[in-house]
């Protein structure tokens, strides 16, 4: 699907789930989360899966996630994945902010290309 790709590879789901389970089991982490090189969102999805397993929809509703990738195609896919599953499972995040920036050279200086604080804002009139 990704013509002219940059040689990126994505973490397999089984591995990202294991990492999230390990981190989730070992410590309590904050509700402000970031993935500065998110790819298609493998680690983010696994993290959200773990939060959902441990804290249910209440936990998801407290999560403020910032995602970023240098490659706009990938961060767009990650954004769609997160929003699709959030809507599909009726588990709304507090906020999702997506950036498309070089995390090394443009860190904190690029405006987000997508922000969702509610489904209503993203799909007007479609969801309550």
Ligand X SMILES: C[S@@+](CC[C@H](N)C(=O)[O-])C[C@H]1O[C@@H](n2cnc3c(N)ncnc32)[C@H](O)[C@@H]1O
Give me the residues that bind ligand X (CB under 6 A), please.
8-11, 37-39, 42-43, 68-71, 74, 102-104
In sequence order, what are the residues at sequence separation of 6 or more whose Cβ sits closer than 8 angstroms to the Cβ of residue 85? 45, 48, 91
Instruction: Characterise 4 by phi-psi region: left (phi > 0), alpha (psi -120 to 50), beta (else).
Output: left
Q: How far is the CB of 86 from ligand X (least distance, A)?
A: 19
The position carrying tokens 């690029």 is: 110
Which residue number, 77 or 83, has a Cβ lying nearer to ligand X? 77
Which residue number, 12 or 56, has a Cβ lying nearer to ligand X? 12
Residue nearest to ligand X (CB): 39
Return the sign of the alpha-carbon dihedral for residues 23, 46, 14, 67: negative
Q: How far is the CB of 76 from ligand X (least distance, A)?
A: 12
Which residue number, 10 or 97, has a Cβ lying nearer to ligand X? 10
């Amino acid at each position: 699907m990704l013509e002219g790709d940059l040689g990126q590879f994505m973490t397999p789901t089984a591995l990202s789930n294991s990492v999230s389970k390990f981190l989730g089991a070992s410590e309590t982490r904050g509700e402000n989360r970031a993935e500065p090189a998110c790819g298609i969102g493998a680690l983010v999805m696994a993290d959200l899966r773990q939060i959902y397993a441990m804290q249910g929809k209440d936990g998801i509703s407290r999560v403020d996630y910032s995602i970023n990738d240098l490659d706009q195609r990938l961060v767009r896919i990650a954004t769609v994945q997160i929003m699709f599953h959030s809507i599909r499972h009726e588990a709304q995040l507090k906020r999702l902010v997506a950036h498309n920036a070089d995390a090394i050279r443009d860190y904190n200086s690029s405006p987000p290309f997508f922000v969702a604080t509610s489904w209503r804002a993203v799909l007007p009139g479609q969801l309550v």
